[in-house]
Amino acid sequence: MKVAEFARALGGDPSQGVPPTFGIVVAAQAWESMFGDPELGLALHRIVHGDQKFSWQRPLRTGDTVTATLRIEQVRERGGMQMITSSVAIATIDDEPIGTAVATFVHTPEPVA
């Protein structure tokens, strides 16, 4: 049902299978734990998506039960902004690798009062 809702939100036909960018829904669950981590001091509304790369060993399929494991690969400072590269490995609960979603986010820190 979530897959069909996602396909329709892209103006596509839900009968044509899982959209290739649906992995973002899985990755976003992992991002949420990063964005919401008080130690990292990030704020969702201060984050812009810079780039995205998916690599699939096999397609995500309806009915898969998966895990998402996030690694912060790199943090760079540029012009007062933080460029955060994160990698989310997606696998089945039986540890069959499905793919990886690598994203760069641009975070503008809260102005110092």
Site residues (CB under 8 A) for another protein, limited to 62-91: none
Structure tokens at 65: 């039960």
Structure tokens at 11: 């103006």
**CB-CB contact of 59 with 38 (8 Å):** no
Each residue 25-54 as x (binds another protein by CB under 8 A) or -, in order, gives x--xx--x-----------xxxxxxxxxxx
Its sign, for the CA torsion 11, 15, 16, 17, is: positive
**For residues 85 and 52, what is the distance between their CA atoms, to the nearest angstrom?**
10
Output the smallest distance, CB 97 to another protein, in A: 13
Output the smallest distance, CB 71 to another protein, in A: 18
Binding site for another protein (CB under 8 A): 2, 5-6, 8-13, 16-21, 24-25, 28-29, 32, 44-56, 59, 108
